[in-house]
Amino acid sequence: MTALEVTLRAVAVLAAFLVLPLLVGQTEHKVMAHMQGRLGPMYAGGFHGWAQLVADGVKFVQKEDLTPAAADKRVFRFAPAIALVPYLVALSAIPIHPGVQAATLPASAVFVLAIIGVGIIGTLMAGWASANKYALLGAMRAAAQLLSYELPMVLAVSSVCLAAGSLSLAGIVTQWHWWWLAWQAPGAVVFLTAAVAELQRPPFDMPVADSEIVFGAYTEYTGLRFAFFLLSEYAGIVVMSFLFAVLFLGGWHGPYAGALGWLWTVAKAFAIAIVIIWLRVAWPRLREDQLQRLAWLVLVPLALGQLLLTGAVIAVTGS
């Protein structure tokens, strides 16, 4: 791989990383608005407020960058980057078309899971360094949440890996057959639930809970640093939706996959993103202990059952 090619791939991932979350964000604005009998943004940019998030970004840049006097300043300033960068790295390992992915890794499924797990440290750092009681509560909630979703998520992914006999995301998609939709359905449900918990999105947005602990770990953030946290949330939706599409929906499989495979991946991921948005519109927020309960009494047993089922089917069919 030449230096030029590496640069091109990096730029392509960065472009996707900057554009796709905005697309998801704008979709959320509009989909949520129409579900609630509103119009959503209508003015920025002219056509149906398409430039609303660009305008928001411009606004964030102009805002004063505040660091509380009592804060642990270096950790406080560094936290948004820790929250944001893992998703960028994760995005580079996701295959979207046969043979098309920014970084070719032998065990990309493991790599993506590991790197996504780093993002939560940004929230913990922000909450602890803010020297704010609400922020601290938010960080502690985030830590408690971490304990509940990581295990089911890893178990759900390992079931797919077992089915495909590969730890590579591209390998999994290559092995995928349509009947996996039914075979891996319990795992898919577990993964989606865990992903929403990882993203701290409703109904699992307890760590930010604006009506309880006023945005938790992000309480003290302003301007661009706050925008980075927001961006990391939407980048997270993008990464999780792509992962779901690749792991459970067969990625590029579909009519004319040879030419339109990338479109299939994007379309499937986008559909999942809309489901994640829909959850926010429809549901209230759980309590932290209710999520723990759900995770340990439902998600983990379900994921283990899926693993057992996958193993049994493989043992019987001998593939």
Partner 1 sequence: MAQPTTNRELTVGVGAGGLATADMVLNIGPQHPATHGVLRLRIVVDGERIVSAEPIIGYMHRGAEKLFEVRDYRQIVVLANRHDWLSAFSSELGVVLSVESMLGMEVPERAVWARTLLAELNRVLNHLMFLGSYPLELGAITPVFYAFREREELQAVMEEASGGRMHYMFNRVGGLKEDLPAGWLGRVAHAIAAVRSRMPDLESLIVGNEILRARTRGVGVLTPETVAAYGVSGPIARASGLNIDLRRDAPYLAYAGLFGEGGPGRVVTRTDGDCLARLEVLLEQTHVSLDLAEHCLDVLASLPQGPINVRLPKVLKVPEGEIYTATENPLGFNGYYLVSRGEKTPWRLKLRSASFNNVSVLSELLPGHLIADMVAILGSMFFVVGDIDK
Task: Give the separation between CA 310 and CA 130, rounded to whole angstroms.
Answer: 45
Q: Which one, 72 or 212, has the nearer CB to partner 1?
A: 212
Q: Which one, 164 or 194, has the nearer CB to partner 1?
A: 194
For residue 97, what are the β-bridge partners?
100
> Which residues have C-beta within 8 Å of that of residue 104, sequence separation ≥ 6?
170
Task: Give the separation between CA 303 and CA 189, rounded to whole angstroms.
Answer: 9
Task: Give the separation between CA 146 and CA 51, rounded to whole angstroms.
Answer: 34
Q: What is the footprint of partner 1 within residues 218-237 (CB under 8 A)?
A: none
Minimum CB–partner distance for residue 248 and partner 1 (Å): 24
What helix, strand, coil percent values describe the chain, rounded to 5?
Answer: 75, 0, 25
**According to the binding rule CB under 8 A, does residue 202 interact with partner 1?**
yes
Q: Which one, 38 or 177, has the nearer CB to partner 1?
A: 38
Per-residue binder mask for partner 1 (CB under 8 A), 24-63, x = binder? --------x--xxxx-------------------------
**According to the binding rule CB under 8 A, does residue 192 interact with partner 1?**
no
Task: Give the separation between CA 305 and CA 208, rounded to whole angstroms.
Answer: 32
Single out the residue of 177, 185, 210, 311 in contact with partner 1 (rule: CB under 8 A): 210
Minimum CB–partner distance for residue 265 and partner 1 (Å): 30
Minimum CB–partner distance for residue 288 and partner 1 (Å): 7
Minimum CB–partner distance for residue 219 and partner 1 (Å): 11
Q: Which one, 230 or 266, has the nearer CB to partner 1?
A: 230
Task: Give the separation between CA 23 and CA 126, rounded to whole angstroms.
Answer: 26
Residue 97: φ, ψ to 5°: -150, 150
Minimum CB–partner distance for residue 161 and partner 1 (Å): 32
Single out the residue of 118, 286, 304, 309 in contact with partner 1 (rule: CB under 8 A): 286
**According to the binding rule CB under 8 A, does residue 281 interact with partner 1?**
yes
Tokens of 219: 């309480």
Task: Give the separation between CA 285 and CA 274, rounded to whole angstroms.
Answer: 18
Contact 179, 117 (CB under 8 A): no
CA dihedral 46, 51, 53, 59 (to 10 degrees): -80
Contact 173, 248 (CB under 8 A): no
Q: Which one, 33 or 81, has the nearer CB to partner 1?
A: 33
**According to the binding rule CB under 8 A, does residue 7 interact with partner 1?**
no
Phi-psi region of 49 (alpha: psi -120 to 50; beta: other; left: phi over 0): left
**According to the binding rule CB under 8 A, does residue 146 interact with partner 1?**
no
Minimum CB–partner distance for residue 285 and partner 1 (Å): 3
DSSP letters spanning 84-135: HHHHHHHHHT---BTTB-SS--TTHHHHHHHHHHHHHHHHHHHHHHTT-HHH
Single out the residue of 82, 112, 137, 243 in contact with partner 1 (rule: CB under 8 A): 137
Q: Which one, 34 or 63, has the nearer CB to partner 1?
A: 34
Minimum CB–partner distance for residue 283 and partner 1 (Å): 5
By the criterion CB under 8 A, which residues form the site for partner 1?
A: 32, 35-38, 133-134, 137, 140-141, 202-203, 205-206, 209-214, 280-290
